[in-house]
Amino acid sequence: MDETEAPPHNGKIVIAPDVLITIAKLATLSVPGVVRMAPVPGGLDRYFKRGAADGVQMLLRDNALSAELYIVVQGDMNLRVVSEAVQAEVVRALTEMVGMETRGINVHIEDVTYDEN
C-alpha cells in the first residue's frame, strides 16, 4: 500500500444525537448577536425530545441533517443578518466536524433582548 492511500475502512462510526445537538448549539452561540438559546416551544411532548431544552431539534433523514434552532437575539442587531449567519455557521460546523449533508437549518427568533446599561 502506498503512503498516500488511506487504509481500508473496518467497522462503522456512530455519532450520538447529543453530539450533533451540541455542535449545532455551540455554532449558533458563536454568532455575534445571538444572546442565548430559547427552549423549544410546545406542549408536554417537547420535554421528551432530545435537545428541546437546548433550543435545538435535529432530524436525520436519508443521511442528511435538518435542524430547528430557537434563539434569543440582541435587539440592536439585524435579525435577518443574524439568522443567515446562524444558518451558515451551523452548516459549516456540521459539514466540517461530522461530514454530513445538511438539508435545512431553520432559525426561530423567540425573543429579542436589550442591555439595560
What's the mean pLDDT when you consider all of the chain?
86
Q: Tell me: the pLDDT tens digits for 4-31?
A: 666 677 888 888 888 999 999 999 999 9
| Average pLDDT score over residue span 95-111 | 93
31-77 per-position pLDDT tens digit: 999 999 998 886 544 444 555 568 999 888 888 899 999 999 999 99
Q: Tens of pLDDT along 74-98?
A: 999 999 999 999 999 999 999 999 9
Cell, residue 32: 455575534
One-letter identity of residue 34: V
Whether this prediction's pTM lies above 0.85 is answered by no
Predicted confidence (pLDDT) at residue 116 exceeds the cutoff of 80 = no
Residues 6+ apart with CB under 8 A from 39: 46, 52, 53, 55, 70
C-alpha span between 50 and 15 (Å, rounded): 14
Residue owning grid cell 421528551 = 48
